[in-house]
Amino acid sequence: MANLISRAFGGLNEVRRGLATVFKHTFREPITKNYPDEMPDLAPHFRGRLALTVNPETGDHLCISCKQCERVCPDKCIEITSHKSPETNKLELIDFKIDHGLCMFCGLCTEVCPTLCIINTNDFEMADYSRESLIYDLKKLTLSQDESAFYFDRKEMPLPKPKPAKPAPAAAGAAPAAVAAKPAAVPSVAAPGADAKPETEAPEAKAPADSKTVEVKKPEVKAEVKEESKPEAKPEAKAETKTDEPKADEPKADEPKA
C-alpha cells in the first residue's frame, strides 16, 4: 500500500518534471524560419541547380565539350551536342541539355569537369508546372559573368586561365583535388539563397551577350557589376547590392593565389 502510494507520487512527480521541461520552451526562440520570406543560409558547396560558368574575367564559355559529365552522370540526364569546328579543329559546343527532373544532384559531373565549368549553384527553387520545363538548355544553364565570378569566389575555385583549352585526362583529377585543397580562410558571409533566387528569374538569355559587350570596354569585374546592375531587371538590382561585398574583395582575394 505504502509502496503503491509512493509509486503514484513518484510517477506524478516525473510527469510534473516533464511538463515543466516542456513549459520551459515557452521562453525559447523558435528555430524555424518562415522560408519564402527569409532564405536559408546554404553552405558554399551545397549541391543545388546545375549551371555552366563563364570565365569571370573574360566572359567566354568554359565548357570544352569533353563530355566527361555526360559519361559520368548516373542518371544520364546530361546531353551535350558539339561538333568539330572546321578552322581550329577543336570541339565546339552547340547545345547542352540537363534534365533537372531526372538529376539527383550527386555532383559527380562537377567533380569530373576538367575546367570547373559545370557547377552546383546554391539555388534550389526549380519548381515548375511541366516536366519539359525542367530540361534546361544552354541559355538557361549558362550563368552571367558576375554570377560565375560570385560562385568562383564562393566555392574558392582557382580562377581559370584565359584560354581554357586542355581537356587532358591529367586535369580530370584536378577538380576534386582543387575542391579538396585547403582553402584560404575567407568566410563568405553573403546569404547565397537570397541572391541565387533572383538570378534564376533574371532573363539569362541576354546575360552572356551583354556581359561580353560590357567586358569589352571594362575588363575589370568590380566596375562592371555597378555597370550591369542598372540595365538589368528589377529583382536583379536588389541582389546586386547583396552580392557586392563578396565581389568587392574578390579580386584582392584572388591576386595572391594567382
Give the binding site for another protein (CB under 8 A).
Answer: 8, 10-11, 14-15, 17-19, 21-23, 25-26, 28-32, 34, 42-43, 45-47, 68, 71-77, 79, 97, 99, 101-102, 104-108, 111-112, 120, 131-132, 134-135, 169, 172-173, 176-177, 179-180, 182-183, 185, 187
CA 48 to chain centre: 6
Q: Assess contact for 239 and 199: CB atoms under 8 A.
A: yes
Closest CB 98 distance from another protein, rounded Å: 10
Closest CB 228 distance from another protein, rounded Å: 29
Closest CB 149 distance from another protein, rounded Å: 21
Q: Which three cell numbers stand for residue 35?
A: 522560408
Nearer to another protein, 91 or 108 (CB): 108
Q: Which three cell numbers stand for residue 161?
A: 586561365
Closest CB 181 distance from another protein, rounded Å: 8
Q: How far apart are CA 3 and CA 10, in angstroms?
A: 10
Nearer to another protein, 23 or 129 (CB): 23
Nearer to another protein, 141 or 225 (CB): 141
Q: How far is CA 105 from CA 55, 78, 101, 109, 157, in A?
A: 23, 12, 10, 9, 19
Closest CB 150 distance from another protein, rounded Å: 18
Sign of CA dihedral 233, 238, 243, 244: positive
Q: How far apart are CA 198 and CA 224, in angstroms?
A: 18
Nearer to another protein, 121 or 211 (CB): 121
Nearer to another protein, 30 or 256 (CB): 30
Q: How far apart are CA 113 and CA 166, in angstroms?
A: 11
